[in-house]
Amino acid sequence: MGVAPKEDYTAHQLQVLEGLEAVRKRPGMYIGSTDSRGLMHCLWEILDNSVDEALEGHASNIAIRLFDDGSVQVDDDGRGIPVDEVPGEGRSGVEVVYTKLHAGGKFGGGNYKVSGGLHGVGAAVVNALSSRVDVEVDRNGKTHRIQFRHGVAGRYQDGPAGPSPDSPFVPFDGTRELEIVGDVAKDRTGTRVRYWLDRDFFVAKAAFSYARLVERARQTAFLVPGLAIAVIDHRENAEHPEQNFRFEGGTVDFVDFLAPDSALTATMRLSGEGSYTEHVQVFDEAAGKQKMAELERTCHVDIALRWGTGYDTVEESFVNVVKTPEGGSHVAGFESGLLKLMKQMVEANARRIKLTAKEQKAMKIEKDDILAGLTAVVTVRLPEPQFEGQTKGKLGTPQVRAIVAKIVETQLGDILNSKKRDQKTETSRLLEKIVSEARARVAARLHKEISRRKNALESSSMPAKLADCRSEDIESSELFIVEGDSALGTAKLARNSEFQALLPIRGKILNVQKAGAGKVLENQEIKSIIQVIGAGSGRTFNLESARYGKVIMMTDADVDGAHIRTLLLTLFFRYMRPLIEAGRVYAAVPPLHRLEVAGSGGKKGSYVYTYSEAELHTQIRKLEKAGKRYKEPIQRYKGLGEMDAHQLAETTMDPKGRTLRRIDMEDEQALIEAEAMFEKLMGGDVGPRRKFIVEGAATIDTSMIDA
């Protein structure tokens, strides 16, 4: 067998990608991906240029326009991109910015103290990935225009139908002067950029997200107080033709907008600055070349934060108004400063928050304990930040960490250590919450370890009163939480032990809306429920570990039963919310009455069950109309224990004949309403609950009360 000849590998095989060809060859390197995120990133690059003008105080209005042909336009009233010729290039500043990588006014020279576009590739990258780009600049009393087709500068000859990437195009030849298309007032300046992305560079499913655009516009308006941003949708059948955003409160307003729960503390603002030195290249005018030098930089920090009654963390971070979803050195500094300060405060206030010496020694406060319920916006502004990648998802400038941490430690420490009575109360509540989270974490970790479905050798770790099912199929298995031991006895005979498990609880469990997390997880009934469901609780809850496909609350059809059901729902909502969101929590519907219908013609009598007073009266009328007799008195079930096993099975437990009410939350609005209702009915503030009861008392039919 012969050996295949080796191909020659010489310098002739090497390729050098010039200009924008590198972007078109590997677009993902410049915009992160070629899916919907990359599509939106192109808009962010153009928008950030306008926002940078606002950051420098040169722009106060930005408009983003959407058109039916898929194009997008960004307008601003900033200084306008320079239209004069760039020395040594023979081209205008506008053409250089849109055709040369790493070209712009943000690399030094004092044009921008802070900026979101630091790589100088944003506008050029969008141009490279667009089939057409139109740029108009208002400067010096004139409107200057330049157009690009696939990154090549020239002019389009549009017809009556308006601008289109398919219009005839004439590229620049010898002359490269900008086209003057109008006159404007001498003091009017600004830039308008309209682009048509070339969809060949993006995956087929890549789609423009109007919701993300509105979110970005809103957050930018929060972060640049006084900047007006309009999102104008010119598309046919636009749901929102125009949305306008302008805020004066900055990060404090932003935190209040983002917070998902009711406030535990007031919203606090921390601001300051710090200096650091950086070894970078600068242009030496005397020598006419670049050289390395030590520059002193200033980092401005603006943070707003508050803690709420929930346990979800909302943490947004920005560098020069650019969102950094992956965090970076500014977030690391914020969290490290927070952790150091809170550890010191818990230790110093141990007696006030009733932290025992034993707990203090055994329990170590962790970052997650402090972040529970925190809503924070962390923003920094600095010249030439080091981002990790062109998409600017993570800040890499290491010196920022220490500056942010110091501001958090000193300023937040001053606020929380204030001697004012209201602040002392808030601080105590906050420290109690942090300690409760630490207790809950330790307890939940223990529960998580012992709450997996056990084999025969491990079954002893489950509560003794659990009557488990035999099936290992989670999808088909059901856990009935039963009110009382008497109902348990009947339910054991009524259930299908193949897939139905039973857990009795003694009366009314702890109200978890009022109690701290530590007390909640010390409660034996709640511990049993958490153990049996097997997915942990709170922040550590893992839906995939739940041992049953359905969790069914089976309580008596009376006031006490309704109260127990409400207490259980409060537990699930606060500590096992994913169960509700997944539609896996149900309420059983036992009957209220049983009618014994007499037989006729020697036939055996039958039973009819009804589930409400209205249904009972309807059923009685039907029987009387049909000439059928029923025995008096009608049986009124006051508890599950009054039913025989076959009756309980037939009406409440057997999937063939039972009715279950599924507890769910359809959308974000339902979640907000549920939060408010649980706080009103089960929270620690008595006033709203009293008002709710008094206002609702007039609607109660006292004759319906079973007393």
- Catalytic site positions: 483, 556, 558, 560
Phi, psi of 23 (to 5 degrees): -70, -45
Give the pair of three-digit tokens for residue 322.
């650019």
Report the alpha-carbon distance of residue 86 to residue 99 in Å, rounded. Answer: 13
DSSP state, residue 408: I
SS3 at position 177: coil
Q: Nearest to residue 521, comparing CAs of 502, 536, 499?
A: 536
Q: Strand locations in 67-158, DSSP E? A: 72-76, 85-86, 91-92, 130-139, 142-149, 152-156
With residue 24 as reference, give the H or E element that holds it. helix 21-25
Report the alpha-carbon distance of residue 587 to residue 674 in Å, rounded. Answer: 17
CB 512 within 8 A of CB 418: no
Give the pair of three-digit tokens for residue 74.
């960004």
Q: In degrees, to the nearest 5, what angle opens at C-alpha 295 toward C-alphas 251 and 113?
A: 35
SS3 at position 626: coil
Q: Within 13 A of 108's CA, how many CA atoms are on the CB side? A: 11
DSSP state, residue 395: B
Report the alpha-carbon distance of residue 180 to residue 144 in Å, rounded. Answer: 5
CB 381 within 8 A of CB 114: yes
Report the alpha-carbon distance of residue 163 to residue 156 in Å, rounded. Answer: 8
CB 653 within 8 A of CB 500: yes
Residue 454 buriedness (CB in 10 A; 0-12 / 13-18 / 19+): middle
Report the alpha-carbon distance of residue 433 to residue 516 in Å, rounded. Answer: 7
Other C-beta atoms within 10 Å of 89: how many? 14
Report the alpha-carbon distance of residue 273 to residue 269 in Å, rounded. Answer: 14
How would DSSP label each residue in 513-551?
TTS-HHHHHH-HHHHHHHHHH-S--GGG--GGG-S-SEE
Query: Number of H helices and number of E strands within the chain?
Result: 22, 25
SS3 at position 456: coil
Report the alpha-carbon distance of residue 101 to residue 596 in Å, rounded. Answer: 87
Tokens 């090549």 -> residue? 152
Q: Is the peptide bond before 633 cis (omega within 30 degrees of 0)?
A: yes
